[in-house]
Amino acid sequence: MVEPWADTEIDAHFLPMLSALKNAANNSGLTESEREQADTKKAEFDTVCVENEAKAAVWAIEKALQTFIDKRITFDEALKNEAVKDFAPLLMKYGILLPSFLSQYQEEIMAIKSAGTLGMSAIAQVKLYKEEDLALQDLNKEAA
């Protein structure tokens, strides 16, 4: 194979950059403590990302229920926080995509529990709203 750039100025700039990228990818330029610090920071960053993904999932569930059932449905902060706490390990374990095969189920059970709790809260609110709507209709009939 002909390499017209071999032993040229391009090679002089490109090869050190390529070597630096390979070293960075292998962490070979880091000491053990620097590598541990980098791993700790990555784990902290991953935890924050997963918590935000779980918050987004809870928000999406709430908005879907508001869209399809009743716009007054809301979850209190304690319930949202519990759901985030239960969804986060599942997201940490698998990411945002479902795995092709599930071998351990503790995280799945907790996430299903939270989804069920959110759903039960929504159903209770819908029943309350329907009762309020009926009472309001009765008041309107009496006023007319």
Quote the CA–CA distance of 32 and 136 in Å, as a whole number: 69
Give the other-Cβ count within 10 Å of 57's Cβ: 20
φ/ψ of 101, rounded to 5, equals -145, 130
Greater confidence, 40 or 6? 40
* 20-52 confidence digits (pLDDT tens): 666 666 655 667 788 888 888 888 888 888 888
71-105 pLDDT, tens per residue?
Answer: 888 999 999 999 988 888 887 777 765 555 555 66
> Cα–Cα distance between 13 and 60 in angstroms, integer?
49
- Which residue is listed with tokens 């599930």? 102
Query: pTM of the prediction?
Result: 0.49
Q: For residue 82, give the nearest of 104, 130, 115, 53 by alpha carbon.
A: 115
